[in-house]
Structure 1
Amino acid sequence: MPPRVRLDWFQSLRRPPVPVPRRRTRSPRKRTCRLEAHEWHSGGVRHDRNDRWNHNIHYYDLVVAAAPRSARTALDVGSGDGLLADRLAATIPEVTGIDTDTDVVARARAGTTGNVTWIVGDALTHDLPHDHYDVVAAVATVHHFPDLAGGLRRLADLTAPGGSVVVIGCARSSTVRDVAVDVVGAAQHQVLSRTRGFWQHSAPVQMQFPHTYAEVKAIAAAVLPEMTWRRLPLWRYAISWRKPS
């Protein structure tokens, strides 16, 4: 058996502190306290909803790119504040966002600019149509599933033939290669959080990840044959899978 890899020295790299957005000088003119639904406020400055950045938003383009060009329906599992569902609604006519948190869904509904149907419920048990969605996306969600294999099967079951499952997930580092990617992610985080600001979403956060990256990859490969796996900086991985037609 190979020697156990010690990762103690790198623990600080895996949990970077959330940076405080830099404050800018306020304009002397009078400002109203009211923010439009598509805006957010940080450091005394208004920002458009589309300007937000964090580790999850960074990879939304991967989700959008994985959608079939002919996609008509999409499901965002664990939709949180609704930014991804809103992005998908820009090109997909029927988008559904589902989340278990009532308050989070209410905020998402208030800030939506696209045509999105919002559901308060658990995607694993809620009465959703089988073989229906051309895109099923789950960003920073599947580590909440009590059974990862069963959860991935559920996502596959909801996907229409020819449709795509896209997962952007979080896991634990367990190898030297994982730590090397974490180092790259730490540097990337420092640069991007300073240049773009770091937006903290309002959904509950769970930082205890039940699986290592290697374990997630093995489970996904068993459940989703011929899936594509990518280990990403910023403490993420990507799984994409196309359901046979």
Structure 2
Amino acid sequence: MDKKLDGRWNHNIHYYDIALAAAPMARKALDVGTGDGLLAARLAENVDEVTGIDSDNETLTNAQKNMSADIAWIAGDVLMYPLPEAHYDLVTAVATVHHFPDLATGLERLARLTAPGGTLVVIGCARSSIAQDYALELVGAVQHQVLSRRRGYWQHNAPVQMDFPHTYTQVKGIATGVLPGMIWRRLPLWRYAIIWGKPE
């Protein structure tokens, strides 16, 4: 990664380690909704072939200018672009799937892109609807204040959509149906994680 990008922090970057934990086992990785390309650059430190795809041309152009890592950049919609299926040992999507017109269809597409034996990691955003969600919102608010003061908060350049179509409970239900055996984690800082290993 370019040195001038080191040390940046926000809610998405905070959870990159969940995706990076699967990187040492991967040879080919796809970062969906790559935005500024920070996760793609981190993946490229351990993965031989990294592709970053994003539908926002301007953001992707900025990522290409700022990154020195060897990454294949694609401007396009992951739901429509002719990517090779069952090809990527690691597919990541951070703060991306709430942009999909249909969550189940989007998750199915990401699953098809994942190679047998590979891993799909989704870090997503949703709406609170139950007591546990609201409790974690309070934890997240405190965590945000502490970490923002300590590290500073960096606002990425990618378009932001704060209208989340699903609750956390709904996302978990949809993902359970599409990705059998997936691991679900509800996270502070207004996020959840889905980790799914595609059967061999």
Matches within 5 A, 1:86-165: 86-165=41-120
Identity level (%): 64
Instruction: Give the residue type in structure 2 aligned to 1:49.
Output: L
Q: Which residue of 2 aligns with 1:13?
A: none
How far apart are the structure 2 equivalents of 1:111 and 1:82?
A: 9
Partner residue in 1 for 2:21: 65
Counterpart Cα distance in 1 of 2:65 and 2:148? 26
TM-score (norm 1): 0.80
1:162 to partner: Cα distance: 0.3
Encode CA deviations 1:43-87: one digit per residue, 9 max, x unaligned: xxxxx31210000000001101033x4311000000000000000
What is the rounded CA distance, in whole Å, between the counterparts of 1:74 and 1:50 in structure 2? 21
Give the match for residue 133 of structure 2: 178
The match for 2:196 is: 241
Q: 1:215 is aligned with what amino acid?
A: Q
Residue type of the partner of 1:110? K
Q: 2:183 aligns with which of 228, 236, 243?
A: 228
In structure 1, distance between residues paired with 2:158 and 2:14: 17
Runs of 4+ displaced beyond 2 Å: none
Select the structure that is richer in helix: 2
- The yes-or-no answer on 1:215 pairing with 2:185 is no
For residue 38 of structure 1, what is the aligned residue in structure 2? 2
Where structure 2 has 5 or more consecutive residues not aligned to the other structure, the ranges are: none
Task: Please say if residues 66 and 240 of structure 1, whose CA atoms lie closer than 8 Å, have aligned partners that are also in contact.
Answer: no
| Structure 2 residue 4 is matched with structure 1 residue 56 | no
What are the ranges of 5 or more consecutive residues in structure 1 without an aligned counterpart?
1-36, 40-47
Larger Cα-atom Rg? 1
Distance in 2, Cα, partners of 1:126 & 1:238: 25
1:114 deviates by 1.5
Whether the aligned pair in 2 keeps the contact of 1:168 and 1:236 (CA below 8 Å) is: yes
Residue 108 (structure 1) shift: 0.6
* 1:208 partner amino acid: D
State the distance in 1 between where 2:98 and 2:77 align: 14
Q: Whole-Å Cα distance in 1 between the matches of residues 133 and 121 of structure 2? A: 21
CA distance in 2, matches of 1:185, 1:70: 31
Contact 1:139/1:168 (CA < 8 Å) preserved in 2?
yes
Q: Residue type matched to 1:54 in 2?
A: N
The number of equivalent residue pairs is 200
Q: Distance in 2 between matches of 1:50 and 1:113?
A: 13
2-structure distance, mates of 1:221, 1:128: 25
Post-superposition offset of 1:146 = 0.3
C-alpha distance in 2 between matches for 1:119 and 1:164: 21
Letter in 2 for 1:106: T
